[in-house]
Structure 1
């Protein structure tokens, strides 16, 4: 039986408050310190690892390091994915059943099984697309 520690609750609360913003463990530590809830970096990494394993958090590996994003679909839900805007950096979590047919095709025809928990599509969000079309920013 699993239980939630105060540190895990604090990490989850911080991720919830900053949805749409991929955060590093250091970002979380700083935010929690500012809230008057200091949690050590090693503890944050431990909690993020547990939350990633349970499917509550997406881990985004980049050249700059690992970023974390809250997932509203715990338990390895295969229809959720992250969309990251390459212009503004905002991350959007979406639940789209159309992805399952793509995952099935890749597994059947190309013998490659996608890990949706680690899948991030990059492109332009609606706001940045509109700004680009109007020549702003």
Structure 2
């Protein structure tokens, strides 16, 4: 975790920002809950436990700054709530998600599934793809097993 915090500190420094104590505690909460897809309010509540004097606006500003610096991505899974997802180190693209429409579970796919699609888009539409997001909505394995596959 400390290495990732150091790299985030460097990204902030390169953009002429400092890793303030408020930003650091926010980053630590995001790292500790990396697979949870927390909303800003979720992040705030967890940060407040560790840093009681922090304000919601500070957490929002920190999340937006980290989003601008491509340290994290703001995602929406169709429920109207913006959630924050740390970018994987060294990843060329945002990772993909499988969202269960029954239970709301979110599973991440780390593999880049779209290199051939990107080539087609570049060739046929003369468009340079710099990033992409892919979200699949459906029924997860657990819900299929519970329902005997009737919802699939």
**TM-score under structure 2 normalisation?**
0.66
Instruction: Call closer, same or farther: CA 1:131–1:108 in 2, change over 3 Å.
Output: farther
Of residues 13, 18, 22 in structure 1, which corresponds to 2:28? 13
Aligned to 1:67: 83
Which structure 1 residue ranges, 4+ long, deviate > 6 Å from structure 2? none
Aligned to 1:124: 139
CA apart distance, 1:22: 2.2
Give the gaps of 5 or more residues in structure 2: 1-12
Aligned to 1:36: 50
SS in 2 for 1:97: coil
CA apart distance, 1:119: 4.1
Of residues 53, 61, 64 in structure 2, which corresponds to 1:49? 64
CA apart distance, 1:23: 1.8
The number of aligned residues is 132
Verify the 8 A CA contact 2:67 2:73 in the aligned structure 1. Answer: yes
Verify the 8 A CA contact 1:78 1:100 in the aligned structure 2. Answer: no
Q: Bigger radius of gyration, 1 or 2?
A: 2
SS in 2 for 1:31: helix
SS in 1 for 2:50: coil
**TM-score under structure 1 normalisation?**
0.72
Instruction: Call closer, same or farther: CA 1:36–1:12 in 2, change over 3 Å.
Output: closer
- Give the Cα–Cα distance (whole angstroms) in 2 for the partners of residues 103 and 20 of structure 1: 27
CA apart distance, 1:99: 1.9
Range that drifts further, 106-115 or 55-64: 106-115
Aligned to 1:101: 116
Instruction: Call closer, same or farther: CA 1:20–1:114 in 2, change over 3 Å.
Output: same
Give the gaps of 5 or more residues in structure 1: none
SS in 2 for 1:121: strand
